[in-house]
Chains A and B, each alone.
Chain A
Amino acid sequence: MIDHPSRRGFLGLTAGLTAAALTGCAARPTTGSTSTGGRLRAAFAGGGATEVLDPHLANLFVEAARSKAMFDKLADLGADVSPRPRLAERWEPSADLRRWRVTLRQASFHDGRPVRARDVLASYARILDPKRTFRAKSSLAVIDLANSRAVDERTVEFALKRPFVEFPNVLAAFGAYIVPEGAEDFTKPVGSGPFSFVSFQPGRSVLLKRNPGYWDGPPYLDELEFVIANEESARVNALLGGQVEYAHDLTPTTARQHGSRVTMVRSPNSGTQAFAMKVDRPPFDDPALREAMFLLADRRQLVDTVMPGAGQVGNDLFGKGYQYYADDIPQRVPDLDKARALIRKAGAEGLTVQITTSNAAAGFVESASVLADQIRRAGLKAEVVTGNKDTYWADILTRGSLVSFRSGSMPIETHIAQRLLSTSTTNATRWARPEFDALYDKAVSTADEAARRQTYHRMQEMLHAEGGLLVWGFADWIVGTAANVTGVSSAPANTLDWARFDKVRLG
């Protein structure tokens, strides 16, 4: 019965989740009477002419934040990056984990139409359209849409192509928003989210107003305006000068400098900072050399240099603090003697290690030069190559042997599926092990939570010992707010409570 739990067991689990969500709701007023109102202006980096309001096309942080304000997903990720029900009131799988029955909440779109099972199926069909390229497509690919159906107005039965216990992760996937059936024109978007659309000036501003009928309680704010300021200094200056009340994505330096004048909200474990070694080619196809790299890296120095006071050291594993993270694996500490011995063993003395980096993300070039010094200290030569920032992420899939890497938060299962399987399409370390793939298949078809945790643990042990990802740190996400702003949560970026403005108030 371990592999095939009773339906009751799953109902119990789901009920627990729902209860947690309801307790959360109860703490808040359900009417607007206590609302302090006002307009909150939030400054984000943006994309100018490339910005869109189509939530399925969301790519940038500002697009994700705006989508979240106007639309809902069936589920979203909690603070431990595990899925929580949102538009879906509950979900229950069949015994073989191939059919999932999802019950929707009573919710309505901004134009008054109810959110129905058909809208959910139409939204997913739009994302899965073979002719289109929406970001959530690969996450939703496990759904067998032809055999999925609307049981009634508020019940969807999803058929999957294979048994998949982590299906709720799919419902919470980046960009998997529910739009009204047939929606194609997003110049005046209609969603079911806490705020509804008022006006849009591409590259400048999006103005939204509160949705008094939001199923999760109406927002405290009357209006929410997203404004675009690409330079970090401009976002800080606008905040300091009282032009905005919320400035997204600030640097640790700014936080230290201006922390006394405005409130800095830190979200730990938001960004995984790493170097990716390609395990399929010299020199890092030699496990001894990979281990030498793990041991010569001084993570504390990297964190203190690149994100002083705003990060934690990593242990070569993705997702610190997330559900299923193997936090009992001992922390690696620098051991130069052992690293030198391993380098000798690998016959790599005098070898030049090339670090490929770019300005694609903050801190990349700095961390690469710090690591280069650390490599030199261990007796190797090191060279930093700076690549093109606009094409960096595509380039490092095939090029380079040691490259700067970072990731936002996502469930550990998703990280493995997208980046570490033989079939993964964005596998920057070229990690491809049949036994690892088999463990993944076992994990996602194991209904028993404890057994699944054990399998994920085994996979992380393998990655920690022999993997290609040198995870050296976890960055705090830093957001600045004006003194009168309350309710800004410190959840990891891209989770439910990140950039969640329906819980924010102006005092």
Chain B
Amino acid sequence: MSLPRYAARRLLLGLGQVVAVAAAVFLLVEALPGDAAVSLAGDNPDPARIAQIRATLGLDRPPLERLLDWLAGLARLDLGVSIVSGRPVAGILLDGLEPTLVLAGLTLLVLLPLAVLAGVAAAVREGRALDRALTSVSVALYAIPEFALAIVLIAVFGVGLGWLPPTAVGVPGLLAEPAVLVLPLVVLLARPICSISRLVRAGMIDALRSDYVRHALRLGLPVPRVRLAHALPNALAPAVQQVARTTDWLLGGVIVVEAVFVIPGLGTTLTGAVDGRDLPVVQGLALVFATTTVLVNLVADLAAFRLAPRA
């Protein structure tokens, strides 16, 4: 199959998946106990007041009608307004998207070269001291949950030594004060760097033992060139899939990291919207997450297709 045809088929399938996810999320939020009116009333749950809030928000209309309204809006690229704050959903999503994109982008930027370097270095020295050291460190690091790592890092470098800001509280934009990014980035990098470098190492070891690498070496090509130009692309194919999963996870906002470091990204937006039963916002987020998942996986598959056409 040619690359463009493969891409087109996958895109169409992806569109169907996104709409299905949006509808499923609508039903799931409907199934949660209580609605935005109950949540808004909070600790002052006068039943008459709740009923009136419900009427004001249009929550007394049949669910199917509301879902169809929302889908009709979607066709016009209108995501609707938050039922809790009345702000346009698109604006709320954009506000949350910026910090998440900054975090995810920088994490990937650091993650990819480091993971590949560590994986290749370990594979080339398979079984030797460096390989064993990298293996032990990555297995240990992978076992630490994000929140535990975050708490330790904040206690030591943020509060104890005072080298880095412990949170991103009150920072107008993450890039305006890059120091606030250091600790969250370390936490976000810790686990994916382990899993991806392990995959690169395994793929590289397989590739180095393969017939075509041995053939290239017999032909007298320089060793570094064989490793980088012939072995590495094959070794990367499985790692690319893992990078796609990592990207999903990063775009999901990594709720724990956002909460601990007070980064108002998509994860925070999602938690708030679910607590408030703010259906249009939850659905907008579902669209963003579904779309990125589909796109990221598509790109990963295309990249794998390109790197190792036999796969």
Contacts and interface: CB of A to CB of B under 8 A. Distances in A.
Q: How large is the interface on A (under 10, 10 to 19, 20 to 34, 35 or more residues)?
A: 35 or more
Interface in A289-317: none
Given A48-B268, A48-B272, A425 B34 contact: no
A221 interface: no
Interface in A393-433: 393-395, 397, 425-426
A133 B52 contact: yes
Contacts of A204: 170, 264
B34 A390 contact: yes
Contacts of A388: 33-34
B85 interface: yes
A259 B34 CA distance: 40
Given A49-B84, A243-B165, A425-B46, A390 B95 contact: no
B38 A394 contact: yes
Nearest to A135: B44
Interface stretch (B19-27, B61-69, B71-79, B274-282): B274-282
B34 A394 contact: yes
Interface in B133-161: 151, 154, 158-159
Contact of A390 (B170, B264, B277, B281): B277
B264 A231 contact: no
A243 B170 contact: yes
A391 B39 contact: yes
B87 interface: yes
Interface stretch (A87-95, A158-166, A222-230, A248-256): A222-230
A229 B169 contact: yes
B158 A237 contact: yes
Contacts of B95: 201-203
A228 B281 CA distance: 20
A243 B44 contact: no
B39 to A, nearest CB: 5
Contact of A241 (B39, B50, B159): B159
A8 interface: no
Contact of A237 (B40, B154, B268): B154
Given A48-B268, A49-B278, A234-B262, A393 B169 contact: no
B270 to A, nearest CB: 10
B92 interface: yes
B275 A49 contact: no
A393 B32 CA distance: 16
B170 A227 contact: yes
Given A231-B259, A393-B45, A50 B85 contact: yes
Contact of A233 (B87, B151, B162, B165): B151
A137 B41 CA distance: 13
Contacts of B170: 41, 43, 204-205, 225, 227, 238, 243-244
Contacts of A202: 85, 87, 92, 95
Contacts of B47: 394, 397, 425
Contact of B260 (A59, A227, A234): A234
Contacts of B272: 47-50, 203
A447 interface: no
A138 B154 CA distance: 45
B52 A228 contact: no
A241 B169 CA distance: 11
B169 to A, nearest CB: 4
A243 B167 contact: yes
B102 to A, nearest CB: 14
Nearest to B180: A243
Interface of B: 32-34, 38-50, 52-53, 56, 82, 84-85, 87, 92, 95, 151, 154, 158-159, 162, 165-167, 169-170, 172, 259-262, 264, 268-269, 271-273, 275-278, 281
Given A50-B40, A50-B84, A234-B167, 5 more contacts: A50-B272, A59-B42, A135-B44, A229-B167, A231-B259
